[in-house]
Amino acid sequence: MEVILAKSAGFCFGVQRAVDVVNQQIEEATHPLYTFGPIIHNEEVVKEFESRGVTVMDENKIDSYEPGTVIIRSHGVTKAVEEKLKALGHNVCDATCPFVKKIHRAVEEHSKANEYILIIGNPDHPEVKGIVGWIEGENYSVIPDEAAALDFSVNLDLTICIVSQTTYNHNKFQELVEIIKQKGYHVIVLNTICDATNKRQVEAAEIASRVDAMLVIGSKNSSNTQKLYEICKTKCNDTYYIQTAGDFTQSDLSSIESVGITAGASTPNNIIEEVQKKCQK
């Protein structure tokens, strides 16, 4: 059986940076060490850090922890949360992905200029919640899909600054931007989708279009992995969303001549290698 592994599969720059920050802090820790929520969306990585003494801070109970070092997750947090952690006596170590941090600065600047901020993404995702927390005032909306874009309506006199969750589908982002533009607004578009995300999606679609089956590896709560699965599913009917090599058997692929493998930005290399080896057997 031919096994095709996506070159872009696995940790992106921002995730690798966050993992490196935690590893460094573990080596240097002399007082309690926390991550604000899961450092990345991968249960295996989070469990491994917990076994080494890192506590995942409950976002709803931050008042209850002994002062220590809090590592801000790769998805980022609101400005208010960052300030509260410092006020509680914590040393804050910021592992926010630089591309997400760039959006924080952008929405803060454009909202201060009295522009309406429109975020395209999942309103329940921690990255989007963090972005909202850097907006000055209440002039903003989050739209996740075409239906929300069609329903969107504000004063035509407002300048609208559009940004995106970094892991949003690039083609869908362009479609929603066009819907907003057609309403007659003066629009400023900041394409904040991560280049690595776009590259990963394009490569996954290309591989899925020429194989008999496609395996997409990643955590079930990973937004970028979910997008990869959706993209691959449109190109290959036999697309499977798995978290580890234990989620499928070799008999599942017994009649398959070619299989493609891709993985979300929070999937460790060792898990990808295990899946690849299992397929090759």
Looking at the annotation, which residues are catalytic? 127
Q: How far apart are the C-alpha atoms of 241 and 5, rounded to whole Å?
A: 15
- Let me know: does 262 contact 211? Beta carbons within 8 Å: no
Q: How far apart are the C-alpha atoms of 158 and 136, rounded to whole Å?
A: 15
